[in-house]
Homo-oligomer: A and B are copies of this chain.
Amino acid sequence: MAPASKAWAVVAGVGPGTGAAVARKFGLEYPVALLARSPENYEPLVKEINDTGGKAIGISTDVADANSVTSAFRKIESEFGSHGCAAAIFNASGRFFRKSVLELTEKEFTAGYEVSAKGAFLFTQAALPHLLKVAEESSTPHPPTLIYTGATASVKSNALMSSFSTGKYAMRALAQSVAREFAPKGVHVAHAIIDGVIDIPRTKEWLKDQPPEAKISAAGIADAYWNLHTQPKTTFTNEIDIRPMLEKW
């Protein structure tokens, strides 16, 4: 069954975990554009969504590059039309360096910020006009929604984690500023603190001696994001945390 809505959704940072689950979920209702650096990351999913009655496109995008982001949104508009954006989810993370602050190269240190904050900024700038269009035309049943995927490191900055946490703290600052600026214009902005290991193929060997409730299900995150999206203008949640039942915090 084709998506009911003409307004589309966009997910940046599609891999085997949260991004894919979110794309599947929002793809049930909206044409959905999947952005990732490497086509391998979205191709099977684009096919899956299209094969099961949805409407998806994948666009190879470097979220830290302004031209790449601009061109991705131009592509989305040319494919899906100028119906505006119902939901934009920023889920990208850069390379991860667990190193002493003394051992990080400048490039490694800034890698967290490049994707998590500068990338989030470029994505935000590109998505907002389309989100505002939906807000102004009230063309979807739910307020247009912009969600950022944060982490434990968005609120706690441990030793050896400065590259990652500086990017995530900065992303949270961006999310709060954008939320405050655009809520009065009808755009719902939310930041999610994902606290724990997500259950994906890459983490299969982690926490092996523990029951499944020691890891977060990506589908559960997608459901939580969908629930954020369906909140009315009178009831915006701007921050949630998400962790599996066995997580220590």
Contact = CB atoms under 8 A, between A and B. Distances in A.
B169 A172 contact: yes
Given A215-B234, A236-B244, A101 B125 contact: yes
Interface stretch (A43-51, A85-93, A183-191): A183-191
Size class of the contact patch on chain A:
35 or more
A240 B246 CA distance: 19
Given A165-B177, A213-B233, A232-B220, A106 B128 contact: no
Interface string A207-249: 0000011011100110110010011111111111111111111
Contact of A174 (B101, B174, B239, B243): B101
Contacts of A162: 121, 173-174, 177-178
Q: How many copies does the complex hold?
A: 4
A225 to B, nearest CB: 11
B239 A221 contact: no
Interface string A89-118: 000000000001110101001100100011
A244 B184 CA distance: 9
Interface string A146-167: 0000000100111111100111
Contacts of A5: none
A63 B233 CA distance: 33
30 contacts: A66-B106, A100-B181, A101-B124, A101-B177, A104-B125, A117-B166, A117-B170, A121-B162, A121-B166, A143-B245, A156-B176, A157-B177, A157-B180, A158-B176, A159-B181, A162-B178, A165-B173, A169-B169, A169-B172, A184-B246, A216-B234, A217-B235, A221-B235, A224-B231, A227-B227, A235-B244, A236-B243, A237-B240, A238-B249, A239-B240
Closest 6 CB pairs of A and B: A220-B235, A159-B181, A169-B173, A157-B176, A217-B234, A162-B177
